[in-house]
Homo-oligomer: A and B are copies of this chain.
Amino acid sequence: MIRHFVSEEIMASDSFYRRNLINCLSGYKSLNLIGTQSLQGITNLALFSQVFHIGANPPTVGILFRPNTVVRHTLDNILDSGFFTLNNVTSEFYKEAHWTSANWEGSEFEATGIESEHLNGFFAPFVKNSPVKLACSLVETQTLKVNQTILMIGNIDSIYIDEKGLRKDGSLDLNLLDTVTVSGLDEYHVGQKLSRLSYAKPDKAIEEI
């Protein structure tokens, strides 16, 4: 059976119900810990499901920041310093990663026990046990008129990857790297590969590669 929600019904529903529902609709989301540091030297670590690929040339990522939330520390640190790290989350520390979203007073690294790492003099801290770590610098920000969400674009300056998951063609084996994905607000999953598919052409059926 199909359940149909019309616009008025969505808007009239309980806000908790609506947040759960709307956050699930787009499907599985990427999951990354963003590491930053204030100009006063206080490190910050925040869990994000709204990080996405923007382009490969130059290599850029986009991040959405909701207005007026606790994660504003992350945005403020990036705007002040110009730097941040992105770190894939694994099943080994996804619970600690989730815990970073509590309203901590000091650094989330110390509070949750996630170990930080400083690499090659980069200003922002990395997550030591993450298999995919990116050093990024701020490029631009734009505010979305619809709900004052801030879209931040970052340049990928440097990449650290656990070699076991790096294939010869440059792609990553996220199953092997144990990268975690999230649905909705609080449900975590690992991926289970179906297949890789051949380049799509009209005159040729799709094949597993």
Q: Which residues of A contact B (CB under 8 A)?
A: 1-7, 10-11, 13-32, 49-62, 64, 66, 86, 88, 91, 94-96, 98-105, 111, 132, 134, 139-140, 142, 144-147, 149, 151, 153, 156-163, 166-167, 169-172, 174-175, 179-181, 183-202, 205-206, 209
Which residues of the partner chain B approach A140 to less than 8 Å between Cβ atoms? Answer: 144-146
Given the contacts A17-B169, A55-B149, A140-B145, A26 and B86 also touching, CB distance less than 8 Å = yes
- This chain's copy number in the assembly: 2
Choose one: B30, B86, B187, B194; the contact of A171 (CB below 8 Å): B187
Q: Given the complex of chains A and B, what is the CA–CA distance between A26 and B9 in angstroms?
A: 34
Choose one: B54, B56, B175; the contact of A189 (CB below 8 Å): B175
Which residues of the partner chain B approach A142 to less than 8 Å between Cβ atoms? Answer: 142, 144
Given the contacts A25-B134, A189-B194, A20 and B144 also touching, CB distance less than 8 Å = no
Which residues of the partner chain B approach A51 to less than 8 Å between Cβ atoms? Answer: 26-27
Closest chain-B Cβ to A31's Cβ sits at a distance in Å of: 6
Which residues of the partner chain B approach A145 to less than 8 Å between Cβ atoms? Answer: 140
